[in-house]
Structure 1
Amino acid sequence: MSFSYPVAVKFSEIDLAGVVFNSHYLTWCEDAKMAFLESVGYGPYWFTEHGRLGLVRHAEIDWVASLKPLDRADIRVSVERLGTSSFTLRHEIWRAGAHPVRTATCVITYVWFDTAAGAKAPLDSGFREALLGHQ
């Protein structure tokens, strides 16, 4: 299955070389992650109600091509790995249009965190099942 999240590139997100500032890549991926999780039944309110968080453990950004202000981009989210207490999402950022071009890839590993215990925890079985269809 494929999930795509649209982004409108802003002037303030691009440096003079036409490269998105790394912090904006991560912000885009956070928004895309939350929309993706909402689409599989695990939106932000589920996390609040169940005392769970997906905390960033590790993030990698690989730049491939530039974006320009006012470009449209699509962030394609897929599940790269499911661990015992972590999951890894792959975010491919594509310049939208007649000839899409992949401009960057962000691979982010999240640790499943139990807010009541204040510690990492095994992935909830329902959450794991919801993500399996997106690997």
Structure 2
Amino acid sequence: MTFSYPVAVKFSEIDLAGVVFNSHYLTWCEDAKMAFLDDLGYGPYRFAESDRLALVRHAEIDWTASLKPLDHADIRVVVERIGSSSFTLRHEIWRRGEVPLLAATCVITYVWFDTVAAAKAPLDADFREALEGARA
């Protein structure tokens, strides 16, 4: 399953080189992750109710093209790995157009965090099942 999240590049996201400043890619990926998890039934309110969070453990970004003001892109989110207390999502940022162009790939590992114990925790069984269903 591939989940897609739309992005419209704003002028406020542009740096002196005339392209999107690099930190905005991580912000977009966070937004895409939250929309993806919400689509699986694990939106922010469910996290709060279950005293769990998915926190960034590691992130890597590879840029292959630039995005400019008023470009539109889609962030395709794919479950890449499911561990015992973490999971990894691959976010592919595709610029829209007649011929879509891969602008960046962000691979982010999230750790499952228990907010009451203030420590990492094993993935909840139902959350793991939702991730596995999205991966199929």
Q: TM-score range, shorter-chain basis?
A: over 0.9
1:84 pairs with 2:102: no
Kindly report which structure 2 residues correspond to 1:18-97, keeping only aligned pairs within 5 A, or say none: 18-97=18-97
The CA RMSD measured in Å over matched residues stands at 1.0
Residue identity over aligned pairs, in percent, reads 80
Shift of 1:13: 1.3
1:17 pairs with 2:37: no
Tell me the TM-score normalised to structure 2 length.
0.95
Gaps of 5+ in 2: none
Instruction: Tell me, in whole angstroms, the C-alpha distance in 1 between the residues paired with 2:55 and 2:120.
Output: 9
Instruction: Tell me, in whole angstroms, the C-alpha distance in 1 between the residues paired with 2:89 and 2:126.
Output: 17
Equivalent residue, structure 2, for 1:111: 111
Q: 1:80 to 1:18 in 2, by over 3 A?
A: farther
Shift of 1:97: 2.1
Q: Aligned AA for 2:75?
A: I
Instruction: Tell me, in whole angstroms, the C-alpha distance in 2 between the residues paired with 1:95 and 1:130.
Output: 28
Residue by residue, what CA displacement relative to the aligned partner does 1:94-124 show, whole Å, maximum 9, x if unpaired?
Answer: 0012211000001111100001111000000
The 8 Å contact of residues 4 and 77 in structure 1, kept in 2 or not, is answered as: yes
1:98 pairs with 2:109: no
Tell me the TM-score normalised to structure 1 length.
0.96
Instruction: Tell me, in whole angstroms, the C-alpha distance in 1 between the residues paired with 2:38 and 2:75.
Output: 15
Instruction: Tell me, in whole angstroms, the C-alpha distance in 1 between the residues paired with 2:106 and 2:133.
Output: 20
Equivalent residue, structure 1, for 2:2: 2
Q: Show structure 1 runs of 4+ deviating over 4 A.
A: none
Shift of 1:15: 2.3
Residue by residue, what CA displacement relative to the aligned partner does 1:27-64 show, whole Å, maximum 9, x if unpaired?
Answer: 10000000000001100000000000011111111100
